[in-house]
């Protein structure tokens, strides 16, 4: 699996430092405000679990599942698979946590849906932000890293379901894409 990586863009040490910093920002922002971290499955599970363990103020944890159709390297139409129960949304301060903010479609649609379902506030915290790719107007309230317009895998981020378990973030070699396309 590591042989499929072209270049390591964020090492484990860099990731740790970035999460420490963003966790401090989130902690300061929510001091005295009860809130719920809403992890967007599947990609954010690793980031969310590392993030919340560095936030020493009371919080709850919930999950939503949203996925783009297809196995490619661009985000397609969004499918929202499941949401927290109504009681976990209505009147709550929610912090959506996602792996990467790319076109912005996923988080803007999730924010609209959670607001419609009665959330008092919906903010977001992303592990990676690719501002060059934005297609809708959406900015994260917190982000650990900004990255260039390049498809990345690892630390929760997949290609065709694989590579989420890499402890670092890297780009894929061309052969790794070709292997999937060619079956």
Question: Which residues of the shown chain bind Mg ion in the complex (CB under 5 A)?
Answer: 43
Nearer to ligand 5GP, 84 or 104 (CB): 104
Please give the span between the terminal C-alpha atoms of the chain, in angstroms, as a whole number. 17
Q: Does 124 bind ligand 5GP (CB under 6 A)?
A: no
Q: Does 153 bind ligand 5GP (CB under 6 A)?
A: yes
The CA distance from 169 to 109, in Å, is: 26
Q: Does 99 bind ligand 5GP (CB under 6 A)?
A: yes
* Residue among 30, 48, 75, 114 that touches ligand 5GP (CB under 6 A): 75
Which span (10-18, 46-54, 80-88, 101-109) binds ligand 5GP, by CB under 6 A? 101-109
* Residue among 5, 64, 95, 100 that touches ligand 5GP (CB under 6 A): 100
Virtual torsion, Cα 4, 149, 10, 77, nearest 10 deg: -70
Size of the site for ligand 5GP (CB under 6 A): 18
Helix axes 45-52, 12-30, angle to 10 degrees: 60
Cβ(101)–Cβ(76) below 8 Å: no
111 is written with which tokens?
């924010």
The interface with ligand 5GP within residues 16-45 (CB under 6 A) comprises 43
**Minimum distance of ligand 5GP from residue 92's CB (angstroms):** 22
Catalytic hit among 102, 141, 149, 158:
102
**Minimum distance of Mg ion from residue 86's CB (angstroms):** 24
The CA distance from 39 to 37, in Å, is: 6
User: Would residue 77 show up in a list of annotated catalytic residues for this protein?
Assistant: no
Q: Which of 136, 138, 134 is nearest to 123 (CA)?
A: 138
Q: Which residues contact 174 (CB under 8 A, 6 or more apart)?
A: 6
153 binds, among ligand 5GP, Mg ion, none (CB under 5 to 8 A by kind): ligand 5GP
Which sequence positions are flagged as catalytic?
102
């Amino acid at each position: 699996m590591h042989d499929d990586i072209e270049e390591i863009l964020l090492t484990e040490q860099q990731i740790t430092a970035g999460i420490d910093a963003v966790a401090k920002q989130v902690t300061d922002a929510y001091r005295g405000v009860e809130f719920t971290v809403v992890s967007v499955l599947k990609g954010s599970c690793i980031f969310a679990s590392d993030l919340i363990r560095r936030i020493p103020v009371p919080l709850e944890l919930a999950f939503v599942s949203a996925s783009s159709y297809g196995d490619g390297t661009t985000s397609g139409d969004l499918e929202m698979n499941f949401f927290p129960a109504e009681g976990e949304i209505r009147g709550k301060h929610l912090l959506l946590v996602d792996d990467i903010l790319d076109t912005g479609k996923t988080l803007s649609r999730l924010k609209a849906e959670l607001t419609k379902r009665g959330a008092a506030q919906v903010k977001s915290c992303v592990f990676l932000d690719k501002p060059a790719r934005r297609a809708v107007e959406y900015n994260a309230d917190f982000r650990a890293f900004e990255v260039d317009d390049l498809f990345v895998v690892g630390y929760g981020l997949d290609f065709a379901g694989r590579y989420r378990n890499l402890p670092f973030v890297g780009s894929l070699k061309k052969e790794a894409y070709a292997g999937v396309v060619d079956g």
